[in-house]
């Protein structure tokens, strides 16, 4: 009788275990697991599962609010727009491509809602209060905070898509591929935009006599 094959009695067990661990640690494996989990969560939301709705909001609200805050520069407006984002998300779950990660799709909605809000803001009358008369906070007087303020001032003067790319890459820590999906542009275009906005930020810092401070903040 031919003996049954036993991996436990051979050196193959270690090899298979190593292979499985290697696959599980790979970005492609992680991405596929994430997408599978996303599909399950979305299906639960579509069935009206309240717990799933709460889970989805809790999973993404920090990222959504963070991007809204940086693009709108106003906590109250960022909170309002973030709420609009999730309303739009739940209304549009049927249009999500279940073969792609959920996070970039949600963040694309967030960026688009911010663009819409900024367009409306520009058409509104400007407030008459002179904000320059408000006393600066003590922490804003520190050199590091001053440099960050100058970087944000530089970003306020660039094209909206440049600002969005800068925020998503440098502040949210997103890879090029995710930003490309959110912006609906090729990866090469995202890299070009990021390079251009970095140069504009450096030019602004140079004009303000702060270029020697750049080593304290990563704008590369």
Region of 137 (left: φ > 0; alpha: ψ -120 to 50; beta: rest) is beta
pTM over 0.85: no
pLDDT of residue 33: 52
pLDDT surpassing 90 at residue 196: yes
Per-residue model confidence as pLDDT tens digits over 156-194 = 888 889 988 998 888 888 889 889 988 889 999 999 999
Token pair in block for residue 37: 């989990």
Integer CA distances (angstroms), 209 to 144, 148, 156, 174, 202, in order: 14, 14, 18, 30, 10
Cα–Cα distance measured from residue 144 to residue 199, given in angstroms and rounded to the nearest whole number: 20
C-alpha distances in Å from residue 206, one per residue of 20, 108, 145, 219: 51, 33, 17, 13
CA 117 to chain centroid: 18
Tens digits of residue pLDDT in 55-66? 999 999 999 999
pLDDT at 127 over 70: no
What is the b/e burial string over 117-129, where b = at least 16 CB atoms within 10 angstroms of the residue's CB?
Answer: bbeeeeeeeeeee
């Amino acid at each position: 009788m031919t003996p049954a094959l036993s991996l436990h009695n051979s050196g193959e067990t270690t090899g298979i275990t190593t292979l499985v661990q290697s696959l599980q640690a790979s970005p492609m494996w992680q991405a596929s697991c994430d997408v599978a989990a996303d599909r399950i969560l979305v299906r639960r939301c579509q069935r009206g599962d309240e717990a799933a709705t709460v889970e989805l909001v809790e999973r993404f609200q920090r990222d959504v609010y963070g991007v809204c805050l940086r693009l709108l520069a106003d906590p109250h407006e960022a909170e309002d727009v973030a709420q609009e984002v999730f309303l739009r998300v739940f209304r549009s779950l049927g249009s999500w491509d279940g073969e792609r990660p959920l996070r970039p799709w949600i963040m694309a909605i967030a960026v688009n809602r911010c663009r819409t809000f900024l367009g409306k803001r520009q058409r509104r009358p400007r407030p008459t209060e002179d904000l320059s008369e408000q006393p600066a906070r003590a922490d804003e007087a520190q050199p590091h905070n001053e440099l960050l303020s100058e970087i944000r001032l530089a970003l306020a003067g660039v094209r909206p898509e440049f600002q969005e790319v800068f925020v998503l890459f440098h502040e949210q820590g997103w890879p090029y591929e995710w930003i490309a999906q959110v912006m609906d542009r090729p990866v090469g275009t995202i890299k070009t935009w990021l390079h251009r906005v970095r140069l504009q930020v450096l030019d602004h810092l140079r004009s303000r006599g702060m270029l020697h401070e750049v080593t304290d903040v990563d704008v590369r």
